[in-house]
Amino acid sequence: MLIKRNPNGIDLPFPSEITPRAVFESRRSFIRQVALGSIAAAAAPEMLVREAFAQNGQKLPAKPNPAFIVMDKPTSVKDATTYNNFYEFGTEKTDPARYAGTLQPRPWTVAIEGEVKKPMTLDLDALLKLAPLEERIYRLRCVEGWSMVIPWIGYSLAELIRKVEPTGNAKFVEFVSLADKKQMPGLRSPVLEWPYVEGLRIDEANHPLTLLTLGMYGEVLPNQNGAPVRIVVPWKYGFKSAKSIVKIRFVKEQPRTAWNISAPQEYGFYSNVNPEVDHPRWSQATERRIGEDSFFTRKRKTMMFNGYSDVASLYGGMDLKKFF
């Protein structure tokens, strides 16, 4: 059996050698499902997705960080990996799971540049060993009105920011996703300006909640969720959490971002989850938790900052209706 040595001292077998994710997930969720009395119902969808997972699915051990775990029931792996937004692979929710197989997450590098004293290019091994990997269960709320709860794996982006030593001019951080027509069929369509770019203010990027994300559900990120490395900013609408990033730039000015360019009146730079600021075309007061959406399930009330009230201190004195 071919084994690649991983810097964390974890042996990462090649994809053909790994236990299909469905097997892992069924073990992991068994207790949960039994507790909920839904084990019979859960078995069938898992069978359907077994095939897709055999491609991805290297295990990625991480220590749960209890300081960053919401109590909500995690979304099923199936829902989290088959209902996605990743426009580089198409605009339908099912497109990423269907078409992201052409993404090549290895080898991969992330260039860190701009207003930093130590610009660097890190490969995946370097990213994996930059800080201890933690499991954090975060809510993620899409601007479209649905949400999920996902056990992510990674560490605070602040760990990386510390290493590159931003200069005093670094006021914002820009995240640039891969834009390769050979790997990403959705780039043929001009739905967004490519590459997908997102950004944060430097203090938002440095907030401990902002996660440099390398895995989910105990494994490396599936392609459709932004393999091999993405950002997750849980108090902002999902589109701020750029997938498959290849560049992190520290800049003086607020960056132009993909959704803001496409519809500035609808998608602001801040995009904090806020039940009081409606999208021009729909209310943001409630949301649908994916997996709960049966006919009888009531919608959930959307929480200010998606429930992450600690971040309020980042916005002292700001009118969040104006800076939406």
Name which of 166 and 258 has its Cβ closer to ligand MTE.
258
Which residues, in sequence order, are CB contacts of 151 under 8 Å at separation 6+?
74, 135, 136, 137, 216, 217, 218
The answer to whether 302 contacts Mo ion (rule: CB under 5 A) is no
The answer to whether 83 contacts Mo ion (rule: CB under 5 A) is no
From 50-58, 140-148, 204-212, 296-304, span contacting ligand MTE (CB under 6 A): 140-148
Q: At its nearest, how many Å lie between Mo ion and the CB of residue 259?
A: 9
Please give the structure tokens belonging to residue 203.
Answer: 């203090």
Name which of 166 and 249 has its Cβ closer to ligand MTE.
249
Q: How big is the CA angle at 314 (ends 311 and 315), to the nearest 5 degrees?
A: 110
Gyration radius of the chain's alpha carbons: 19
Distances in Å between the Cα of 87 and the Cα atoms of 114, 157, 173, 191 are 27, 24, 22, 8
When CB distances to ligand MTE are compared, the closest residue is 238
Name which of 79 and 115 has its Cβ closer to ligand MTE.
79
The answer to whether 209 contacts ligand MTE (rule: CB under 6 A) is no
Is 250 in contact with 166 (CB distance < 8 Å)? Answer: yes
88: partner contacted, choices ligand MTE, Mo ion, none (Cβ within 5-8 A by kind): ligand MTE
The answer to whether 85 contacts Mo ion (rule: CB under 5 A) is yes
When binding is defined by CB under 6 A, the residue of 12, 22, 60, 142 that contacts ligand MTE is: 142
End-to-end CA gap in the chain: 52
> Residue 96 is inside which H or E element, if any?
helix 95-99
Count Cβ atoms below 10 Å from residue 72 Cβ, excluding itself.
16
Name which of 85 and 274 has its Cβ closer to ligand MTE.
85
The answer to whether 85 contacts ligand MTE (rule: CB under 6 A) is yes
- The whole-angstrom separation of Cα 290 and Cα 312 is 26
177: partner contacted, choices ligand MTE, Mo ion, none (Cβ within 5-8 A by kind): ligand MTE
- The whole-angstrom separation of Cα 29 and Cα 35 is 10
271: partner contacted, choices Mo ion, ligand MTE, none (Cβ within 5-8 A by kind): none
Please report, as residue ranges, which positions from 110 to 169 form the binding site for Mo ion (by CB under 5 A).
Answer: 142
Count Cβ atoms below 10 Å from residue 260 Cβ, excluding itself.
21
The answer to whether 238 contacts Mo ion (rule: CB under 5 A) is yes
The answer to whether 26 contacts ligand MTE (rule: CB under 6 A) is no
Residues within the interface to Mo ion (CB under 5 A): 85, 142, 238-239
Residues within the interface to ligand MTE (CB under 6 A): 84-88, 140, 142, 148, 177, 196, 225-226, 238-239, 241-244
